[in-house]
Amino acid sequence: MKTHSPLKLSLYSMFAAAIVSGCSSMPQNTALSDAHNSYNNARINTKAATLAELEMKQASDTLDKADRALSDDEETEMVDHLAYLARQQVAIALEAAKQKSAEIAVNQAGTQRNEVRLEARTAEVDAAQRQSAHDRALIAKQKILIDQLNAKQTARGLVITLGDVLFRTNKAQLEAGGLRDIDKLADFLNQYPTYKVLVEGYTDSRGSDDMNQALSDRRAYAVRTALVAAQVDSNQIITRGYGEAYPVAENDTSANRRLNRRVEIVLSDENGNIAVR
């Protein structure tokens, strides 16, 4: 059996430590790491790499953009958003691969397959096509929320913020602009009833704790009322009031206080799961 001299063992240890140290100093982003894992799993463990090359290329390009954004120290929201898009593109690639795999199976069935088995394969293709169309429509709808309601992709999910200007001063009544935003969100929730929303009210630090808590509760509930009026099932809506907690800016100027007076609407995943504070 070969043995290593103390000098060689020491050099090996120093080399391994340098590698570990270099890796640990690299910037980390959980959403981006998850997106890379999703992409690698799809590339290695499924047929997506061969049956959905275009879709996988789109996901790869988006991951490259996200990596560059992270290395260039761009805003975390931008990196998270690109990571989210990459995960969605991987999901589309998986569905496309599933659809093409089913189509190949149908084409290979030939005349030797009996009618029942051929119908079953055709049903698989139809189901895959429907699922693919559903996923594409869902992503398009989410893009509308991002573009028109200025929604942000966060670690908790997609978040829509209704600013103080969309409510009457010190009141819980929504202005016309706020109602228009609610209608757009309601359209999404009505079309995709498995989704839920968590409506969270916040205030600035002026006023008593009790007053701020009550106002944040009322504003969150006002959004719930507007969604229900737009035919959204009440079981899809959860409300929370947090008063002056979780400020997004210092309460030292009127502009910053206005930023803290807000309602945040957190959209669940497709299974209705929401990360509560």
For residue 277, give the 3-state DSSP assignment: coil
> What percent of the chain is predicted at pLDDT more than 90?
45
Tell me: pLDDT of 112 over 70.
Answer: no
As a whole number, mean pLDDT of residues 151-163 equals 89
Tell me: pLDDT of 215 over 90.
Answer: yes
Tell me: pLDDT of 65 over 60.
Answer: yes
Nearest to 152, CA basis, from 262, 1, 9 = 262
User: DSSP class of residue 234?
Assistant: G
As a whole number, mean pLDDT of residues 75-88 equals 91
Per-residue pLDDT of 15-53, as tens digits, reads 444 444 444 444 589 999 999 999 999 888 788 888 888
Sign of CA dihedral 10, 11, 15, 21: positive
pLDDT confidence of residue 163: 87
Structural domains of the chain, with CATH: 30-148 (no CATH), 152-267 (3.30.1330.60)
Per-residue pLDDT of 116-144, as tens digits, reads 677 777 777 777 777 677 667 667 667 76
**Considering only 44-48, 89-93, 215-219, which range has the smallest mean pLDDT?**
44-48
pLDDT confidence of residue 23: 42
For residue 252, give the 3-state DSSP assignment: coil
What tokens does 196 get? 């839920």
pLDDT confidence of residue 110: 64
- Order the strands of the 262-267 sheet from edge to edge: 152-154, 157-163, 262-267, 197-202, 237-241
**Are 238 and 248 spatial neighbours (Cβ–Cβ below 8 Å)?**
no
Distance (Å, rounded) from C-alpha 53 to C-alpha 57? 6
pLDDT confidence of residue 145: 73
As a whole number, mean pLDDT of residues 176-186 equals 90
Show the DSSP H helices in the chain as ranges. 6-24, 30-45, 48-51, 53-71, 76-109, 115-148, 176-191, 209-229, 254-260
Higher pLDDT, 8 or 118: 118
Distance (Å, rounded) from C-alpha 167 to C-alpha 8? 71
Place of tokens 């998850």: 34
pLDDT confidence of residue 230: 95
Altogether, the residues listed in the chain come to a count of 277
Following DSSP, what letter does each residue of 154-192 receive, concatenated?
ETTEEEEEEEGGGB-TTS-PBPHHHHHHHHHHHHHHHH-
**Considering only 14-28, 51-65, 175-189, which range has the smallest mean pLDDT?**
14-28
Per-residue pLDDT of 221-260, as tens digits, reads 999 999 999 999 999 999 999 999 999 999 999 999 999 9
